[in-house]
Amino acid sequence: MPRVVVHVMPKPEILDPQGKAVAGALPRLGFEGIASVRQGKRFELEVEGEVTEAVLGTIREAAQTLLSNPVIEDVVDIEVVPAVEAAR
């Protein structure tokens, strides 16, 4: 089945406490060289049938309404993975 991956990140001007917590933990665990971390979400959607323009339109709308909160988050990427690769 083909897969569409939706990438959501907190907007740059929005405080990201999860990312801050990870960034603070890195040096404590001995991982050096990372200046900052931001944490977002990754959704993998399995599509029934072909990924047509209509399906992509539906997913774009769902990404803006259900998968992200447009007040505090940006949909940074929507990526189509063909069925052959998705099966790997």
Residues at the contact surface with its own copies, assessed by CB under 8 A: 1, 7-9, 19, 22, 25-26, 29, 31-49, 55, 58-59, 61-62, 65-67
Report residue 62 as tokens: 């769902």
Report residue 47 as tokens: 């599509």
CB of residue 81 vs its own copies: minimum separation in angstroms?
11
Q: Which is nearer to its own copies, 22 or 80 (CB)?
A: 22
CB of residue 41 vs its own copies: minimum separation in angstroms?
6
d(CA 35, CA 20): 11
CB of residue 6 vs its own copies: minimum separation in angstroms?
9
Ramachandran region of residue 40, left (φ > 0), alpha (ψ -120 to 50) or beta?
beta
Q: Which is nearer to its own copies, 71 or 77 (CB)?
A: 77
76, 7 Cβ separation under 8 angstroms: yes
